[in-house]
Amino acid sequence: MADVILTILAHPDDAEFLCGGTLIRLAREKNWQVHIASMTAGDCGSVQYGPEEISRIRKKEGADAAALIGATYHCLEEHDLLVFYNERALERVTRLLREVRPRIVITHSASAYMPDHEMTSYVARAAAFAAPAPNFLRDRGHGPPLERIPHLYYADAVEGKDTLGRALPPAFCVDISKVIETKSQMLACHASQRDWLRKHHGMDHYLNAMRDWSAERGKSCGVPFAEGYRQHLGHSYPQDNLLGQLLGIVSR
Ligand SMILES: [Zn+2]
C-alpha cells in the first residue's frame, strides 16, 4: 500500500499556495498518495456568489486542482471565519485521519495571519495526537485508531510572518524548482479566487503572489523556488524528519 500524506489547511486554495510543490514531488518521485483537506469550502470567498454557490464552485476547484496530481480533495464542511477548536472540528479531522491513515500531516503555522489558519493548526495538531488513542471518540463509527501519531509539519505562514509582522523562519526548505509550473497550474484551478482577491485584497496577480513567495523562500535557501517547514517536535510526536529525508533539504 502506498504511503499517504494529508494536508489539513483552512481554505480550499491554501495547499496550492503553501505546500503544493512538496505534494507534487511526493506524488511523482515517491509514489505517495496525496490527500488535500480544507476545513471550509471557502464560503466567504466571494463578492459575487452567495455562500452555497461559492462553496459548490470552490469544492469543485479544489477537487480539480487535486486531480492534476492524482490527489484526493476533502472538505470538512466548517465555515469561513468560524473555524474553532471544538469537538465537532476535532471529530471531523480525527475521522479523516482514521480514514486516510497518513504517515505525514501538513498543517498551518500555529501563528498565522488569520484565526481560521491558527485554529486549523491546533485542531490538526490535536487530532494527530488523538487519532491513535482508541478511547478518543470511541463508538462514533470511525475507522480503527492509527498505529501511531503521524509526522506533523507546519507549512510557512502566509508571507512567512506572524500577526505582528515578525519573520517566522522555516526549520528547513524543500526545493520545488522543477515543479513550480505544476504548482501554478494547480493554483490556477481556483479561478473564482483570482476575481475575489482582486476585489477584496487588491491583489491583482493571484498566481504571481504564489510564485513570488516561492521564489523568496527559494532565495533564502539558494534555489529558484522552495517551500519552508517547521516540524512539530513536542513530546510523543515523531522526532525524525521523514519529509526532509524523502525530498532532501536545501539550505544556504
Ligand atoms: Zn486560507
Top pLDDT among 20 and 207 is at 20
The three-class DSSP label of residue 60 is: helix
pLDDT at 203: 65
Over the stretch 191-212, which tens digit does the pLDDT of each residue have? 998 777 777 776 667 888 999 9
pLDDT at 57: 97
What is the CA(117)–ligand 1 centre distance, in A? 6
Label residue 165 by pLDDT band (50, 70, 90).
very high
pLDDT at 46: 87
pLDDT of 186 higher than 90: yes
pTM assigned to the model? 0.96
What is the CA(106)–ligand 1 centre distance, in A? 14
Over the stretch 125-152, which tens digit does the pLDDT of each residue have? 999 999 999 999 999 999 999 999 999 9
pLDDT of 252 higher than 70: no
pLDDT at 150: 98
What is the CA(1)–ligand 1 centre distance, in A? 31
Q: What is the separation of C-alpha 26 from the centre of its chain, rounded to a whole number of angstroms?
A: 14
Give residues whose Cβ lies within 5 Å of ion ligand 1.
10-11, 14
What is the CA(27)–ligand 1 centre distance, in A? 23
What is the CA(139)–ligand 1 centre distance, in A? 32
pLDDT of 220 higher than 70: yes
What is the CA(58)–ligand 1 centre distance, in A? 13
What is the CA(197)–ligand 1 centre distance, in A? 12
What is the CA(188)–ligand 1 centre distance, in A? 16
pLDDT at 199: 74
What is the CA(147)–ligand 1 centre distance, in A? 30
Residues with Cβ < 8 Å from 27, sequence gap 6 or more?
33, 34, 69, 70, 71
Task: Please give the full DSSP string across 94-114, using - where no structure is assigned.
Answer: HHHHHHH--SEEEE--SS-SS
What is the CA(59)–ligand 1 centre distance, in A? 14
Residue 226 DSSP symbol: E
The three-class DSSP label of residue 14 is: helix
